Amino acid sequence: MIINITCPNCNFSKQVPSENIPAGVKHAKCPRCSKTFEIPAIPEEESFSMEKLPEAPLQEEIPPPLPNEDKVTDVKAEPVDEHTLPIQEDYGYFAGLYRVFSGVLFSPTQFFRAVREGTGIREAMIFGILTGSVGLMFRLFWEFYFQTPWFLMITKLFQGASVNDIFMGMIIFSPLIVFINILVVTAVVHISLSIMGGASKGFDSTMKVILYSNAASVFSFFPYLGDIVAFILTLVIIIVGLREVHETSNGRAVISLLLPVFFVLFLSAAALTYLAGKII
């Protein structure tokens, strides 16, 4: 049976034999405009034998070419995962953000399988820096509000500036701080995973995992307990993400993450002890 598939976005049309469409596939991706659309249902009663097909070959409708665009020759029908393509125009920016949050926090396995199949680094970068900056701003606000020992120690390092100036400066530079932190964490985790023999993909794949794990930083909205929840949830998300994106084992993902974490915590504790000794 020959069916006509037409993209509702750019009106590109192609006649495709029904047997070439995999069973259960309900969506197709247009090779011309790259939009995903629903394939019309194929009525069973309209199925007929090859003897009833017309003798003349069917001609496909060729739309006028777009400026500076290569000729499109085929339409591919493929399954569309509900967690694929996180921030995309089809759903709107805020709806896309919600899909990413729900995927990372509640269905991380399915989400990172979709990331493994090919989600762009640009979308991951926008999401990771945005959510990471918001989470950092929440943490800084609570540090400033409660005048914690950590924040007071920072103010002593910048004695020429007021507390308000230090707070606003850290807020303004929070995206840069988040970006540097992402680069450092990605480099450490990827090297550790490579040593463990579990890095089957490149550096950018590991960076996507770290970027999307910043979804857990929204829990920093809650003081004290929120930071603990965010930290634990971030570790879990990264472990699942490394396992799915690099197609490695849980053991390798856990070890490659926890070893750098313990090492960083040790260095942080040593640095804080040194700074505290200098200030006091």
pLDDT tens for 174-187 read: 999 999 999 998 99
Q: What is the pLDDT of residue 168?
A: 86
pLDDT of amino acid 62: 63
pLDDT over 90 (residue 112): yes
Of residues 114 and 150, the one with the higher pLDDT is: 114
Per-residue pLDDT at 240: 95
The pTM for the full model equals 0.60
Mean pLDDT of 154-182: 85
Residue 209 has pLDDT above 80, yes or no: yes
- List phi, psi (to 5°) of 258: -70, -35
pLDDT value, residue 239:
94
In angstroms, how far is the first alpha carbon of the chain from the final one? 83
Which pLDDT does position 84 carry in this prediction?
Answer: 43
pLDDT at 213 over 50: yes
Contacts of 119 (CB under 8 A, 6+ apart): 84, 85, 86, 208
The mean pLDDT value of the chain amounts to 78
Residue 50 has pLDDT above 80, yes or no: no
**Structure confidence at residue 208 (pLDDT):** 94
Q: Name the phi and psi angles at 27, rounded to 5.
A: -130, 150
What's the whole-number mean pLDDT along residues 10-20?
75
* Percent of the chain clearing pLDDT 70 (strictly above): 78
Q: What pLDDT, on the 0 to 100 scale, is given for residue 145?
A: 84
Whole-number Å distance between alpha carbons of 144 and 138: 10
Domain positions in the chain are: 2-77, 93-279
pLDDT tens-digit series, residues 228-244:
999 999 999 999 999 99
Kindly tell me if the per-residue pLDDT of 40 is higher than 60.
Answer: yes
B/e letters for 201-240, b = 16+ CB within 10 Å, e = fewer, are: beeebbbbbbbbbbbbbbbbeeeeebbeebeebbbebbbb
Which pLDDT value is given to residue 44? 54
One-letter amino acid at 63 equals P
- Distance in angstroms (rounded) separating the CA atoms of residues 168 and 161: 11
d(CA 127, CA 120): 11
Mean pLDDT of all residues in 186-212:
92
Question: Which is higher by pLDDT, 141 or 265?
Answer: 141
